[in-house]
Amino acid sequence: AQTVTQSQPEMSVQEAETVTLSCTYDTSESDYYLFWYKQPPSRQMILVIRQEAYKQQNATENRFSVNFQKAAKSFSLKISDSQLGDAAMYFCAYRNTGTASKLTFGTGTRLQVTL
């Protein structure tokens, strides 16, 4: 069974600075998807960024980028130029390819953004 581990329960970053959230996962599959979801205090979970395992290039979405290390099974999220609106719970998630659409989530990292 796949597992996802987020070893940082809480992180803090100053506004305009850069922060990296870590995520590791365990799988025997060679092709899969990885996701970072954001859950602000209002609780609506939204997708931040995704990575297909077969792609070597790291995904980027504006201020959000990932460092995908397939051999190390690591999938960290980097937030540049942090903003107050980035404060939220961040969840790393894994999904196999194929017809099964089950997402496996980590326990989340709470990100605080300070002035």
Partner 1 sequence: ETGVTQTPRHLVMGMTNKKSLKCEQHLGHNAMYWYKQSAKKPLELMFVYNFKEQTENNSVPSRFSPECPNSSHLFLHLHTLQPEDSALYLCASSQGWTSGSVNEQFFGPGTRLTVL
Q: What does the longest C-alpha to C-alpha distance in the chain come to?
A: 45
- Count CA atoms within 13 Å of residue 12 on its CB side: 2
Residue 96 touches partner 1, criterion: CB under 8 A:
no
| Of 19-27, 31-39, 60-68, 69-77: span binding partner 1 (CB under 8 A) | 31-39
Token pair listed for 79: 């937030």
Of 48, 66, 106, 109, the one binding partner 1 (CB under 8 A) is 106
Query: Is position 44 an interface residue for partner 1 (rule: CB under 8 A)?
Result: yes
Binding part of the chain for partner 1, among 15-23, 47-55, 66-74, 80-88 by CB under 8 A, reads: 47-55
Q: Which of 47, 81, 83, 84 binds partner 1 (CB under 8 A)?
A: 47
d(CA 5, CA 76): 11
> Do 21 and 46 meet the contact criterion of CB atoms below 8 Å apart?
no
Of 75, 115, 66, residue with least CA distance to 95? 75
- The span from the CA of 105 to the CA of 19, in Å, is 21
Amino acid at site 60: T
Residue 58 makes contact with partner 1 by CB under 8 A = no
Of 25 and 79, CB closest to partner 1? 25
Binding positions for partner 1, 2-21, rule CB under 8 A = 4, 9
Q: Which residues bind partner 1 (CB under 8 A)?
A: 4, 9, 33, 35, 37, 42-47, 50, 52, 91, 95, 97-108
